[in-house]
Structure formats: C-alpha cells, structure tokens
Amino acid sequence: MPMPAMWARPDLLKGKRALVTGGGTGICRGIAIALAAAGADVAVASRKSDHLAPTVQDLQAHGVRAIGIAGDVRVPAEVDRIVQGTADTLGGLEILINGAAGNFIARSEALSPNGFGTVVDIDLKGTFNVSRAAFPLLKAHGGVILNISATLQLLGTVGQVHASAAKAGIDAMTRTLAVEWGPEKVRVNGLAPGPVAETEGVRRLTTDASRARIAEICPLGRMATIDEIASAALFLCSDASAFITGVTLVVDGGLWLHSASALGVDATAS
Ligand code: HXC
C-alpha cells in the first residue's frame, strides 16, 4: 500500500466525495488512497474488477466510505453506471480524477488504426465521457476535475503517437472545460507526471537503458514516487489551489525540460 501524501492533514478533504477512474492500480490508486487519507469518501473505477477489492479495503482503512465500480470509460452507458453508482453510494461528488489510460510502444507505421483509436478512446474520449457525465453532480456544490496527463506529448516521443495525440487533446480539453465550467464553480486542471517508479506505465514503456538515462538527465536525478504525484493531486483537489483552473502541472523533476540537453552544455557537469 503506498504511503498517503506526507503533508496532508486527515481533515483536508473531509466531507468531500471523489471518483477516481483507473483508481485500481498505479498512480491513480495512490491518488485515491491519498484522497482517503485526507478524509474524502472515494469511489474507484476500473475495467478489471479484480483490482478493485484490495484497493477498496485500503481506502476503508482510512475510516472513509469507499466503493469499487467496474466499468469501461469508453462506453457511455458504463460511464453513466459508474457516475450513478458513485452518487448513489456517496450521495454526491465534488472531486473527479480522470486517470483511466492505456498505452503501449508502437512506431506509427506499425500501429493499426484501431490501435491508435483504442488509446485515444480510453484516454481522451474517456476523459470527456466521464467529465460530461459527472458535471451535473460537480456543479451542484462546486467541484474539481483533475485530468491525468503526461509529458510525452510535449516532445516528439518515439512510439507514442497515439498517447501523445490523446494527452495533447486532454490538455486542450482541460483549458476549454476550465473556461466553460468555471462560472459553475467547477475547476478543471491537469497533472502531468513524468516516469513514475513502480508503475505499469514505466514497466511498459521503459528499458534498463532508458531508466538509467532518465536518472542521468533528470535534474532531480530519479523518477517520481507515486506519493509525490499524489501530493500534487491533493494540492490541486483541495482549497489550497482554490484560484487555479485550466493549468496542467508538470511533476517530473524537470526531466522533460532537460530532454533537449543534446543541444547544449550538460547542466549536470561541473
Ligand atoms: C501494437 C497494439 C499493441 C502493441 C495492442 N495493440 N497492443 N498494437 N503494439 N503492443 C492494438 C491491437 O492490435 C488492436 O488493434 C488495438 O490495439 C486494440 O487492442 P486490444 O487488445 O483489443 O484492446 P483492449 O483490450 O481494449 O486493450 C487496450 C490496450 C491495452 C491499451 C491496448 O494495452 C490495455 O488494456 N492497457 C491498459 C493498461 C495500460 O496500458 N496501462 C499503462 C498506462 S501508462 P487491431 O488493429 O489489431 O485490432 C500511461 C502513462 C504513460 O498511460 C506515461 C509514462 C511515462
């Protein structure tokens, strides 16, 4: 079980109700646990129901209400069921984390239209589907949406045309929804992790050599931990960020900024 964010007070989000898609595993499981440790009641949704039961147990260990709902963010009827199930169990919704994602490495010429579309459907269209379905609940008492983005779309990341297109779309959607829904007291922000240790994304997308390269060029010298990403999520979900909307916060130890280091002097050299 990941550590809850180290600085969070147990009452930071008391009385808030949260839905975390992709919350059964990895980064979003860590965010869900951090929300619970900060006092929020939490629903986690995942395509695979076997991830949900252990996560719900870990959430309940923080003394909050928790529920796991199996469903696919690509299917509007399943999204309605996830959102309705959250409302029925928790009684409302103030925090939505859009974290459901899919990824694999494939160069563009080897990627089928369905392979491209599958990642766009999960990441980009899934984020839209869940945001749209949750909006009536979020605007009832004011709320926060946090879209989990990435940094791979900020550069020309090889083997990631599908995920880059999807994440760039999510960043654009974050800005549009922030403007459309701000007057309804719904803030919409993004969180863009770089590589995060011990996650499915890093297992799928990196090699021993690329992990060594990350440690070498990252200004902070390593990958993030899940807890560090969850800490940033808590900030963006709490009143600590009450006047922030429409931004995507990069949490990558400066890695992507230094990815262009081939062009200049090595900042780590003394
Ligand atoms: C090429 C592939 C492929 C691969 C799947 N496809 N894997 N093409 N290389 N390795 C193609 C298939 O051939 C098919 O196209 C299409 O994609 C759909 O595949 P399915 O297996 O039918 O889809 P589905 O069962 O819905 O699975 C979705 C998935 C899968 C995304 C393809 O990998 C998955 O379920 N992933 C969930 C977990 C996950 O990816 N977690 C990591 C997220 S990491 P055809 O044409 O054959 O029909 C992340 C962070 C990134 O997002 C940032 C890190 C730094």
Q: Tell me the whole-structure pTM to 2 decimals.
A: 0.95
Assess whether the C-beta atom of 204 lies below 6 angstroms from ligand 1. Answer: yes
Query: What percent of the residues of the chain are helix, what percent strand, and what percent coil, each to the nearest 5?
Result: 50, 15, 35
The DSSP symbol for 19 reads E
* For residue 7, pLDDT beyond 70: no
Q: What is the pLDDT of residue 260?
A: 72
Assess whether the C-beta atom of 254 lies below 6 angstroms from ligand 1. Answer: no
The DSSP symbol for 5 reads P
**Which neighbouring-strand residues pair with 187?**
144
Using the mean position of ligand 1's atoms as its centre, give its distance from the Cα of residue 120 in Å. Answer: 10
Using the mean position of ligand 1's atoms as its centre, give its distance from the Cα of residue 103 in Å. Answer: 5
Q: What is the pLDDT of residue 51?
A: 87
Three-state secondary structure call for residue 220: coil
The answer to whether 27 and 147 have CB atoms below 8 angstroms apart is no
* Mean pLDDT to the nearest integer, 145-158: 97
Kindly report which listed range (245-249, 257-261, 265-269) carries the lowest average pLDDT score: 265-269
The answer to whether 142 and 108 have CB atoms below 8 angstroms apart is no
Three-state secondary structure call for residue 129: helix
Q: DSSP labels for 33-51?
A: HHHHHTT-EEEEEES-GGG
* For residue 176, pLDDT beyond 90: yes
Alpha carbon of 132 to those of 52, 53, 161: distances in Å?
A: 23, 27, 26
Instruction: Read off the pLDDT band of 120 (50, 70, 90).
Output: very high
The answer to whether 3 and 82 have CB atoms below 8 angstroms apart is no
* Mean pLDDT to the nearest integer, 147-165: 97
Assess whether the C-beta atom of 115 lies below 6 angstroms from ligand 1. Answer: yes
Q: What is the pLDDT of residue 195?
A: 96
Using the mean position of ligand 1's atoms as its centre, give its distance from the Cα of residue 225 in Å. Answer: 24
Question: Buried b vs exposed e over 171-207: b needs ≥16 C-beta within 10 Å?
Answer: bebbbebbeebeeeebbbbbbbbbbbeebebbeebbe
The one-letter code for the residue type at 33 is I
* Mean pLDDT to the nearest integer, 55-82: 98
Using the mean position of ligand 1's atoms as its centre, give its distance from the Cα of residue 124 in Å. Answer: 14
Residue 221 structure tokens: 């010298």
Using the mean position of ligand 1's atoms as its centre, give its distance from the Cα of residue 118 in Å. Answer: 7
Single out the residue of 67, 68, 31, 65 nearest to residue 48, CA to CA: 68
What residues contact residue 83 under an 8 Å CB cut-off, 6+ apart? 19, 93, 130, 133, 134, 137
Assess whether the C-beta atom of 116 lies below 6 angstroms from ligand 1. Answer: no
Assess whether the C-beta atom of 207 lies below 6 angstroms from ligand 1. Answer: no
Q: What is the pLDDT of residue 268?
A: 59
Nearest CA to ligand 1 atom 7: 104
Q: What is the pLDDT of residue 10?
A: 87
Chain segment 72-91, per-residue pLDDT in tens: 999 999 999 999 999 999 99
Instruction: Read off the pLDDT band of 259 (50, 70, 90).
Output: confident
* For residue 3, pLDDT beyond 80: no
Assess whether the C-beta atom of 101 lies below 6 angstroms from ligand 1. Answer: yes
* Mean pLDDT to the nearest integer, 145-169: 97
* For residue 1, pLDDT beyond 90: no
